[in-house]
Chains A and B, each alone.
Chain A
Amino acid sequence: MKEKLKAMKAEALKELDAAANLERVNEIRVKYLGKKGELTGILRGMGALSAEERPVIGQLANEVRESLEEEISGKTAALKEAEKLAKLSKETIDVTLPGRPFQIGRRHPLTAVLDEIKEIFLGLGFEIAEGPEVELDYYNFEALNFPADHPARDMQDSFYIDFGVLLRTHTSPVQPRVMEKKAPGIPVKVIAPGKVYRRDDDATHSPMFHQVEGFIIDRKISFSDLKGILLVVARQVFGEDRQIRLRPSFFPFTEPSAEVDVSCIICNGAGCRVCSNTGWLEILGAGMIHPNVLKMSGYDPEKVTGFAFGLGVERIAMLKYGIDDLRLLFDNDKRFLTQF
């Protein structure tokens, strides 16, 4: 019987080795280890054995069974693994094919820049105010210290709607509007983004464009604070290594007034075509709020001071994205809009 068992095991192992798939392995298991399998058949002859032989053969039969079971499960695992690998290899796809396109719209670059600016100022504790686009001459000029009939009004060629009513030429009228509401409350920290209008239409001027006005009124606001805020803004908009430069200028509603330049974002100050070889780009106008403006809108200039600035959104968008033609911003070509 010993020989029979050994022969059976050898035969089973041979067949197992040759088995190419799981069904065959199962057949082999049934053939040798099943209820009606060969091992059972052999063991049926155990009754003829002596009492001494029986445990020896029994142990051997168990060993054969265990070893075959182990082989079968090993073979099964190997075949499963091989089948899985074969399946995976058959499932290979061309990962270089493009993905499914999602239709995502884009913000207009002016809105994107405006959002960025708003975000910066919200972080600095400013609130956002708005004013009408059709404005009273009073707020657009008079309350901003433009004397009636002063040639300075020539600087702003306006669209008139009616006597004393015009399309606002800057976002500055939001200053007196907000001040009238808040006076004498402090601190006032406001930005006012919006559309403005001037009678100009050529390659570098659009009759409608966007500005952001900003101003602070408090007990001890100084020109050095203005420089500080503008430096923060210039760096957040154009990058941490920017410098700013202030040149004295004139606006009726601020004094002292300044034109503010940022070190050129293209050449870093070395001089290039964009900055006309000066190394500087003019980005905004600013200054200390004129005492007359504070007074007209209800603040005592002996008690509070303030600064104000106004920046052109188009100019910043053009510099930031390297757009060289203003008209593209209002042309709204799909091929342009989807770049942002």
Chain B
Amino acid sequence: MRVSYKWLKDYVDIPVSPEELAEKMTMAGVAVENIEYPGRALDKIVTGRIEKILPHPNADKLVVCQINTGAEKLQVVTGAPNVREGQIILLALVGATLPGGKITKAKLRGVDSFGMLCSAQELGLDPKNFPPDQQEGILEFAPDTPLGMDARELLGLDDAILELDLTPNRADCLSMVGVAREVSAVLGTELKLPEIKVSETDETIDGQVTVTINNPELCGRYVGRLIRNVKIGPSPGWMQQRLQAAGIRPISNVVDVTNYVMMELGQPLHAFDYDKLKGRSIIVRKGQPGEKMYSLDEVERQLTPDMLVIADAERAVAIAGVMGGLDTEITDETTSVLIESAYFNPASIHRTSKSLALRSESSMRFEKGVDITGCLLAATRACQLIQEMGAGDVVKGAVDNFPAPRENPVIRLRPERVALVMGVEVPRNEIKDIMKRLDFGVTEEGSDFLVKVPLRRGDISLEIDLIEEVARLFGYNNIPTTLPEGATTEGRQTAPQAVTDKIIDVMTECGLSEIITLSFMNPRVFDLLNIPQDSTLRQAVTIQNPLSEEQRLLRTTMIPGILDILSRNAARKNKDLAFFEVGRVFTPLRGEKLPRETLTLVAGVMGKTLSGWRTKPDDMDFYYLKGVLETLLDSLNISAYDIIPETGNSTFHPGRTAAVMLAGRKAGVIGELHPDVAENYRLNERVYVMELNLEDIIDHAGGIKKYSPLPKYPAVERDLAIVVSGDIPASEINRVIRKSGGVLLESISLFDVYQGEQIKKGFKSLAFSLRFQAPDRTLTDEEVNAILEKIQSALQENFRAELRA
């Protein structure tokens, strides 16, 4: 809503500057987003009369004008085609700054020129707002215009336009009078409403128009007034200026008046050419299947039973509240006008304007709810204006179909409730004063107030709505600052939240940086990831109205997100990448409205670790990422897990992938990305990725670790090196050592793996460091040797392991 400060002053006393007014309104809840000063640039531009025009001695297309500005006589050279002696024009004096540049004293083809005659364009104004004959050349004004008058005053641009950013509840501020009411409440100054009265002719409207409302739930009121002897022409300059200030283009007197009244009172009006209405009747009904109508913008509209239309005896003549029809449009030949002033159901107008993609100043107001009590007044105001400008005679009376008039609600307002909600005792008389400033009726009952709220404030129906009015006009910043009383509470996180925080800690400590990607997934990624056609990963939640095809699905795996980021970084020559992300994946559940949301961790690494002059870089390979995984599980106090080879996963390298098993269930995968997948993502290095279901991890995360006492007796360490066939997994050997070592084997640590010249082909050497310990004594060599022999024979038996010298 654009509000002219000058126009607003017609309706309310404003003893403050536009800037101060803006600040006060904003702090009371009607936000002024911006203040525009339309005339700010138009300095040193005044009216003048062209006294004499002489040909230019050296140029055919230029003339030399003598101009009287009242204060001085100036010579100006111009090329404007429409100059005439006696004309009143706008002259930009030397020193004026126009959008095209600064005006200086100039010599044009040898003749001195002291200024410039102005066209609309040169003033930075829209030429279409001026008469056609002036759109090309200079602007021309009435002969009685005073000389030396400032252009801003003349054009009504000595103004400030407040741009309101209205919240949806404040539809009452979509009019000048509505804003004036608000200003009056905020500043406590007097409201000066326009006097609305019209002198009518003897002809009465009775029998000339019938209004039938078929759907009173969609049209709560319909007022019609008739104007005869209409003379279509331009509206007066002051009205055009005000409409322009409000952002509305002047069209003709009748149309301008309907727009002017909408801006002034907030009630959208429509003007029909009465003679083109068939059967002298207005029927408010739903559109019929197959019904069509040309709207004012000359587009053929398909009407439907979902839309409310205005029809005459034969056809639809307007889409109610949204746009009028072409057939009954006001034209230069129109002599009788029917003014429509109605109340339409906001939701219905919203649906219709949305489905037709037609939004207008009118539909916007109906959608937000107009004042049903103001319909008749607005129609009369339009008649008054048309009559006052001599553009028509107003027929006596109005048709007013108001099926179910509503009473103003009366709401009980308890001062103690005001105090409770606001946290400050507002004096009774101040509450009462605020209600009165809002022009609400107030009576007292015991200690309570009974407040009668006018229907123009459709946002107020509960006590809390009144408390809000008190709070905002009392001033939010006058409310004290306190802290809640009452029982103290303990801040806490749920176990999953605490575990998630821990996971982020561990991952960053392990050298991976956190990323955050969008939860959307491109349907193409299933193929990019080589995911089989029958995989459940392909069953994703689908968004009905995605922003693009790439964002059609919700992710079922976090892997594509991290691969995108690795790929993007690699493309930017960022090397040595180690990332992770914690987020949710979404799985549709049959028979459930909501999908399952599973908290998931993904990590991806490629390249090498940091290096320095004394630090050799390490490959971030499978074992690097596995180390991260083991550290993570250990930090979460999870020890009962297995990491076993996984071969069937087509996203990953068949020989370098493992499943993470928790209590026999697969909780994740870790491995090298399949080269085909890496290529699909334009990654030309080996990439290692793991994905873990964090819900499973959280379920298994141990609580607080229990202390075990430090050993009292020294441990004995022995190394054991064996040679076994190359295909035996280390974990199997580990398991056999553990089992055969018994309780005295305290720990096993693999410190070397060797395959090469010194070993038989197809075999590998593994070297373990074994640590033996008893809680109650120092172990003897004999005891340890006996266990070691047992281990050796178990390895021999199970794997045909040989001792390596």
Question: Which A residues are closer than 8 A to B by beta carbons?
Answer: 97-108, 110-111, 115, 118, 121-128, 130, 132-136, 149-152, 154-155, 159-162, 164-165, 167, 187, 189, 195, 197, 199, 201, 206-208, 216, 218-225, 227-229, 231-232, 245-250, 255-258, 288, 290-291, 305, 329-335, 337-338
Q: Is B487 an interface residue (CB 8 A)?
A: yes
Residues of B within 8 A of A126 (CB): 489, 491
Interface string of B448-490 (1 = CB under 8 A from A): 0000000000000010110110011000110111111111111
Additional pairs, 9, CB under 8 Å, beyond known A130-B494, A223-B422: A103-B511, A104-B509, A105-B511, A222-B421, A247-B27, A247-B31, A247-B476, A250-B168, A288-B421
B593–A122 touching, CB < 8 Å: no
Closest chain B residue, CB of each to CB of A259? B31
Q: A161-B542, A218-B486, A333-B568 are in contact. Are A151 and B367 (CB under 8 A)?
A: yes
Interchain pairs with CB closer than 8 A, number? 250
- Complex CA–CA separation, A51 to B472 (angstroms): 122
Closest chain B residue, CB of each to CB of A195? B519
A98–B594 touching, CB < 8 Å: no
Residues of A within 8 A of B167 (CB): 249-250
- Complex CA–CA separation, A16 to B542 (angstroms): 96
Q: Is B574 an interface residue (CB 8 A)?
A: yes
B519–A329 touching, CB < 8 Å: no
B593–A334 touching, CB < 8 Å: no
A225–B482 touching, CB < 8 Å: yes
Residues of B within 8 A of A161 (CB): 541-544
Contact of B615 (CB < 8 Å), options: A101, A134, A197, A335: A101
- Complex CA–CA separation, A149 to B354 (angstroms): 12
Residues of A within 8 A of B583 (CB): 195
B350–A151 touching, CB < 8 Å: yes
Which of B346, B487, B516, B542 has the most C-beta atoms of chain A within 10 angstroms of its own C-beta? B516
Residues of B within 8 A of A123 (CB): 491
B513–A248 touching, CB < 8 Å: no
B476–A208 touching, CB < 8 Å: no
B477–A245 touching, CB < 8 Å: yes
Sample (20) of A-B pairs whose CB atoms are under 8 Å apart = A98-B612, A101-B615, A102-B610, A103-B610, A105-B508, A111-B516, A127-B490, A134-B554, A154-B168, A208-B518, A220-B420, A225-B423, A227-B423, A227-B482, A231-B481, A246-B476, A247-B26, A250-B168, A256-B467, A290-B464
Q: Is B501 an interface residue (CB 8 A)?
A: yes
- Complex CA–CA separation, A245 to B167 (angstroms): 18
Contact of B471 (CB < 8 Å), options: A152, A248, A338: A248
Q: A161-B542, A338-B513 are in contact. Are A128 and B615 (CB under 8 A)?
A: no
Q: A97-B613, A152-B168, A291-B464 are in contact. Are A105 and B510 (CB under 8 A)?
A: yes
A134–B541 touching, CB < 8 Å: yes
Q: Is B652 an interface residue (CB 8 A)?
A: no
- Complex CA–CA separation, A104 to B507 (angstroms): 9
- Complex CA–CA separation, A122 to B498 (angstroms): 12
The distance from the CB of A48 to the nearest CB of chain B, in whole angstroms, is: 64
The distance from the CB of B382 to the nearest CB of chain A, in whole angstroms, is: 26
Q: Is B504 an interface residue (CB 8 A)?
A: yes
Residues of A within 8 A of B351 (CB): 149
A223–B421 touching, CB < 8 Å: yes
Residues of A within 8 A of B544 (CB): 159-162
A246–B551 touching, CB < 8 Å: no
Q: A104-B511, A134-B554, A250-B170 are in contact. Are A332 and B516 (CB under 8 A)?
A: yes
Closest chain B residue, CB of each to CB of A123? B491
Q: A100-B615, A134-B541 are in contact. Are A125 and B422 (CB under 8 A)?
A: no
Q: Is B28 an interface residue (CB 8 A)?
A: yes
Contact of A122 (CB < 8 Å), options: B493, B577, B611: B493
- Complex CA–CA separation, A155 to B611 (angstroms): 52
The distance from the CB of B354 to the nearest CB of chain A, in whole angstroms, is: 9
Q: A224-B482, A249-B167 are in contact. Are A105 and B507 (CB under 8 A)?
A: yes
Contact of A167 (CB < 8 Å), options: B480, B504, B543: B543
B465–A132 touching, CB < 8 Å: no
B479–A128 touching, CB < 8 Å: no
Residues of A within 8 A of B578 (CB): 103, 105
Interface residues in B507-549 by Cβ distance below 8 A to A read 507-520, 541-547
The distance from the CB of A61 to the nearest CB of chain B, in whole angstroms, is: 54
Residues of A within 8 A of B595 (CB): 134
Interface string of B345-367 (1 = CB under 8 A from A): 01100110000000000000001
- Complex CA–CA separation, A104 to B565 (angstroms): 19
Closest chain B residue, CB of each to CB of A147? B347
Contact of B492 (CB < 8 Å), options: A97, A127, A329: A127
Contact of B346 (CB < 8 Å), options: A104, A106, A151: A151
A255–B468 touching, CB < 8 Å: yes
Instruction: Kindly list the 6 A-B residue pairs having the minimum CB-CB distance in the complex, ordered from nearest.
Output: A224-B423, A222-B423, A248-B29, A122-B491, A250-B167, A103-B511
Which of A164, A257, A290 has the most C-beta atoms of chain B within 10 angstroms of its own C-beta? A257
Residues of A within 8 A of B169 (CB): 250
Interface string of B319-347 (1 = CB under 8 A from A): 00000000000000000000000000011
- Complex CA–CA separation, A166 to B611 (angstroms): 48
